[in-house]
Structure formats: C-alpha cells, structure tokens
Structure 1
Amino acid sequence: MPTGVFLLKPGGLPIEPLPGGAWVNRRLFQGGALRRIKEFGVNPVTVGVGRPSALSFNTLRELSPVASFYDAMDDFPEFYDGLSKASMARHEAAVAGIVDRIYVSSQALKAKLAYRKDAVVSLPNACDMSLLPPADKKKDGHVVIGYIGAIGAWFDWDLVIELARAVPKAEIHLVGPCFSPCRFALPGNVRLHGPCRLDEIGGYLQRFSVGLIPFKSTHLTASVDPIKYYEYRGMGLPILSTSFGDMTQRGISEGVFFIDHEKDLSAVVREALNWHPCLNEITEIRHKNDWNTRFASVHLFNEMTSMPTSRLSQGSFSG
C-alpha cells in the first residue's frame, strides 16, 4: 500500500436496493466505517467520490469537507437493472446534489448532470503515459489487432467474429478479464490472453499493429470515453472502433477507423494499417493526454494537498 493511503473495508450488507436497506447499512456503518472516517477527517479535508453509495453520501454529510467532488466516470445506474438501478440513481442524485464539483468524463454525462450548471466540469479520460514503452512500429508485416480491457456485456463478440473472418491472415488478441464469454466457437485467429498486470500492458501494446474497441452502442456505452483510446494513441496505433459514446466525435485525423457492421471490414483494416503518425505527433499526444497534464488543468485539484495519479476508479467500466 502506498505511503499515506489507508484502505478501509466498510462492511455492510448488499441490501441497499431494497426498501430500508440504506437505513440498515447506515446503522452498521455508524459504529465502524463512519467513525474511522470521522477520525481521519478531524483536520480540514477534501472528499472525492468515485462511486455513489449511501456511505459516500453519509461521509459528505458527516465530515463537512472544505471541498468535495464527484468523479462521474460512467453512467453508474446503467450497470444495474430493476431496484438496483433505481437505488444507484438515487445515490448518484444525492451525491451530485451536495458536492462542490462534478467531473464528467464524457459529453453524455455532462448533459445528464447539467442541472448542477456551474458545478459540472468536463475532465476527459487520459492515461499514465509513463507506463507506456517507446512507440516502435512493427516491421515484420505480421498484423496483430489487439484489445486490452475488461470484456463484459458491452463487448460486441459478433463483430469480433466478423472481423476475424474478414481478415483471416491477421491475429486478434484480446487481453483482459472476461465477464461475458462468447456464446459461439471463435475463429482460429482470435487469441484470448486473460487478465494481465499493469506492468505487462506496454508489452502487449508493442506487439499490436492496430488497437481495437468493439463496443456495442447502448445506454451504458453512450456515456463512455474509453481510456484504451488514449493508450492506443500514446503508442501511435491506428484504432478500429465502433461508433459509441465520445468515440463518435473522433475520426481519421485522430487515427480512428469505424468498423460498424455495415462496413467492408477488410477495406477498413487496410486503410487503418496505412495510417502512420510521426514521432512528434505521438510525443505531443502523450503530453496532452497524460493524467498529470489533465489534472493540472482543473482548479479544485490544484488546491488539494495530494492528488491520485488516476481517477478514483472502483469497479469502473472505461478501464
């Protein structure tokens, strides 16, 4: 654990979506988690919320922080259904209603939370560019179309299979935890690698010829600005992507080539492989889209005594 970071397991029961569930957990938190948090917050503190919950709302009320913010990385209610979705929507509205700032990672989230007017600040995603290796281009002619990230319900397996069949001489490498396996047999040129460590991401990226973002267009992905876009761009990779969320605002000038189902996929892949940014462009992209640069532009963050090197990500989809 890094110096100065304290990990607190609040406990509680997974019953908040049920009527009275938040009230029960508040009583459970009161003698444990909230007491520890109040002890930590004796001095003036800034409170940042990375995921709305009854505990985060109660923390904001109990501590009376000198500054507070909600980091809206995703449209959190869209991860759920039924009572759970309604409960998360209530938690989000409660948190968003009392914090000083709301940082949004996409245009859709900005529109959703616009009722807070001046409190909403756009803070697009980025990545820690120091973790990336040199952006050396592959020269052996072997094409690897690569994806790094979680594979969930938003992942378009049908499109990946279609892509694999359209470019049978290329390999498609999928790196990351798989929470939503494909229902069909995968073509032989699709490789599943499973999860990797943070320090292994650069090695995979160096082997890629093209970066892949095959997400379905849903209410959830409509609010996504994918971090992998910045990782791929930091490596100088062309990007094959579907049209969703903030990706719809990008195009060939940013190295993005769309692969929605009606496209001639083999032709789009050939076009992407002919896109070659110069070294100066890659250097500029790494500087502009590094977390340090991103945070330096935000006034409230500059007032804090310490700042994390990435978003307050707890169960975040953008990954």
Structure 2
Amino acid sequence: MTDLVVVSLEAWDDVWRRNQHLVAGLLRGDPTLRVLFVEPPADPTHDLRSRRRPSFGRGIREIPDVAPGRLFTVRPVKWLPRRVDPGADARLARAVMRAAASVGMRAPVLWINDPSAATLADRSGWPMLYDITDDWLTADRSTGERERVAANEARLLTTAREVVVCSTELERRKGAHRPVVLIPNAVDVDAYRRPVSRPGDLPHGPVALYLGTAHPDRIDVDLCEATARALGDVGTLVLVGPNLLSAEHVRRLSDAGAVMLGPRRRDDVVGYLQHADVLIVPHVVTSFTDSLDPIKLYEYQAVGRPVVSTPVAGFRDADDPRITIADHEAFVAAVVAAVPASTWLPVGAERPVPDWSERVVAMGEVLLRLGQSD
C-alpha cells in the first residue's frame, strides 16, 4: 500500500484526534505511504443560517511537519443542503477523486470515517475500510438526518472489505451485522508523562478540569454549571477544548464561574492535565455516549491525576482506583471532595496505559490486508 485517502469527521488541525494519531503513525512507519486527508466539507449556506462568516473550502495543502511531500489535506465545499440538492454527495465524491488524481493517486485505498462518504465509495471503486468511531444512529438528530445516516451506513457495512470499530459496544452493535475489527483509542504515553510547566492561563488555586470538545451530544451543561457554582471559592471549573455549545450555555457556565479556555495544541494540553487537581468527565449517559471509547480516558490515566466521572463508557469499566464514578446526584460533591489533590505528577502515573504505537500497528495490519485484497 502506497496511497491512502482518509475521509475524516474532523479537520486536520492542532487538536489531534484518533485519525491524526493513526495517520501520523502510519506515515512514520512506512516511508512509501502517501495520504490525502479529506476534511469535512465547508458548508457556506449553513454558516450563513447560523450567522457565521461563510467558509468556502480549501484546496490541496501539504502538511510538511508530519511527512514532507507525503501528507496532503483538502476541504471540498457543499454548496446547498442535501434536501435541496440531491446531487451534493456525488459532487463531493467527484471533488475528492479529482484531488486524489491531482496528487498522483491512481488506485488508493479508501478509509472512510464519515458515513456521508458512501457515495464516494460507490463511485470510486477503491478498496474501502469503514472506521466507526461514533454510533450516529443514536445521536440526537432530525429524523431526516438519521434516515440518511442509516442508509449510508447500511451501504458501507455491506460494501466495505474491512470494518474497524473503536469500542466494545460498537463491536457488539455493528458486529451483529458483519465481522468487525476492534481497535480502541490510546495516548502518547511518553509525552503525557514528561513533566511540563503550568500553563500561564490556568487559574490560580485548585482546578477541576475537563479536556475535550464541549458538545451537547456529550457534555451535561446543567452538571457543569452546578459543579462550577459548588466549587465557589474552593476552586475553578476549567474546560479546555473546542466549544460547540450555544451562546446561552456558554453564558450560563461563565456566570457560574467556569472558565472556558477553548482549544489548545496537542503538545500544550499535557500541561493543563498535569497541573489540574482533579480531572472530570461530566458527560450525559445515553446510547450515543455508550458507543464511545473516550480518548480522554487514556489521556487522564497517563498523567495519573484523580478523576471524577459520570458512569459513561470507558470510565465506568476502568480498573483504576484513581477514577471515582459518580451519578448525576453525587457528581458535584465528589468533585468538591477531590479538590485539591495532594500529589502531583509523576506520583501515581506509572500504571500501564495503551500507546498509540500499538494501535498504529493494528490499523496497519488491516490496511495491508485491504491493499492486498484485489
């Protein structure tokens, strides 16, 4: 395998997620590999409806700091909603195929993380891997969007030569339809255990910190608000990561005393985790969150800090005495009791934690089978 097209649910940016860790690891391990990383399409019509400045996509760009001359990204454009333009997915598929051809890819392997790329799989005929990291069939979406996702996923599960899932729950759900390969998430263990300085924008005094995207599908805003108010003069609730909450939710959290710092580069988040007194997971518990394998589980474990989590997948099953599981009613008191912690990294951070290098090897084996399947 020398060429790979990855259709991702996230952009290639400074906040690294599963796809970026795996792709970067594969590129390091195979000097012949080239990757076209397809970001979610720009949607200027939706931007305008949401009163945001419209974005208009991005042409092919190289990511030289990861793999000079071997890693490219592209962001196509979806000009109109699918309900207005039934040919939107076909146009997006053609745009990706043109981008692949423009960087010299003639018969790449296709790695799909975004189920809306089912049309690309059909039209390209490229050998295809479907990588499932979320069960979007159980997310809070409109009926029309759920039906579209269900139709796309059914096509992908039928036509994919390999299906990878990231959690045991996804293995149970999707494995009922066909064979799947379980490749969970992980962390760069060495990087997270190398002591770094306290970030300058971290509030003084004890800190209860959440790392991750603040998204209504995952985070319990009421619980965060109650936690911030209960901490009061004892400490500060800090949220680090992309913010996808509504303006009203942000106002409520700010009024309660929470500090939302926004996204931080992948190398910088380590300092926030290491210098937090307690790490928290104020997630809703739903069928959707039960499908996840939270990367923050591995990140939290790597730094060895105390953790308080609602009973969500991953955390509730972890055999780790540093993790306290608390339901909605007990969560706030558990966080207040854990602040401040008495020790700091690296004390207590010696327990084994899965490293991304292990997952790269596993994904490489799947892709190798796929590349040899013709």
With normalisation by structure 2, the TM-score equals 0.67
Query: What is residue 174 of structure 2 aligned with on the other side?
Result: 113
Cross-structure match for 1:172:
237
**Structure with the largest fraction of helix:** 1
Q: Paired residue for 2:160, among 67, 89, 99?
A: 99
Rounded to whole Å, the distance in 2 between the matches of 1:191 and 1:30 is 41
Letter of the 1:108 counterpart: E
Checking the alignment, whether the CA contact within 8 Å between 1:236 and 1:276 is kept in structure 2 is no
Instruction: Select which of 7, 10, 24 maps to 2:76.
Output: 10
The answer to whether the aligner puts 1:146 opposite 2:212 as a matched pair is no
1:151-177: per-residue Cα shift (whole Å, max 9, x none)? 111311222233334443122111123
* Structure 1 residues 114-137: Cα deviation after superposition (integer angstroms, max 9, x where no partner): 23432x111111123354252589
Q: How does 1:181-196 map to 2 (within 5 A)?
A: 181-182=249-250, 184=252, 186=254, 189-196=257-264
Give the CA RMSD over aligned residues. Answer: 3.4
Report the 3-state secondary structure (helix = DSSP H, G, I; strand = E; otherwise coil) of the residue aligned with 1:71. strand
How far apart, in 2, do the equivalents of 1:263 and 1:269 lie? 10
> What SS does the corresponding residue of 1:60 show, helix, strand or coil?
helix
Shift of 1:236: 0.7
Alpha carbons 2:162, 2:370 under 8 Å: kept: no
Classify 1:76/1:197 alpha carbon distance in 2 versus 1 (closer, same or farther; 3 Å).
Answer: same
Where 2:209 maps in the other structure, the secondary structure is: strand
**Structure 1 pair 105–272 and aligned structure 2 pair: CA distance change class (3 A):** farther
Preserved CA contact (<8 Å) 1:68 1:99: yes
Matched residue, 2:39: none
Give 1:31 deviation, angstroms. 5.3
Instruction: Decide whether the 8 Å contact of 1:103 with 1:123 is kept in 2.
Output: yes
- Structure 1 unaligned runs (5+)? 306-319
Q: Indicate yes or no: 2:304 matched with 1:236.
A: yes
Question: Is residue 104–residue 123 contact of structure 1 (8 Å, CA) maintained in 2?
Answer: yes
How many residues align structurally? 292
Which letter does structure 2 place at the counterpart of 1:9?
R
Checking the alignment, whether the CA contact within 8 Å between 1:38 and 1:63 is kept in structure 2 is: no
Contact 2:193 2:346 in 1 (8 A): no
Equivalent position of 1:212 in the other structure: 280
**Per-residue deviation at 1:85?**
1.6
Structure 1's 232 and 31: CA in aligned 2 closer, same or farther, altered over 3 A? closer
* Other structure's SS at 1:117 match: coil
Structure 1 partner of 2:326 = 259
Corresponding residue to 1:37 among 100, 111, 115: 100
CA contact (8 A) 1:50 1:70 kept: yes
One-letter code of the match for 1:68? M
Say if 1:209 and 1:237, in contact at 8 Å, map to a contact too. Answer: yes
Gaps of 5+ in 2: 1-62, 199-203
Query: What is the identity, as a one-letter code, of the residue corresponding to 1:149?
Result: G
Question: Normalised by the size of structure 1, how large is the TM-score?
Answer: 0.77
Q: Percent identity?
A: 24
Q: Could you tell me whether the CA contact under 8 Å between 1:57 and 1:94 is conserved in 2? A: yes
What SS does the aligned partner of 2:77 have? coil
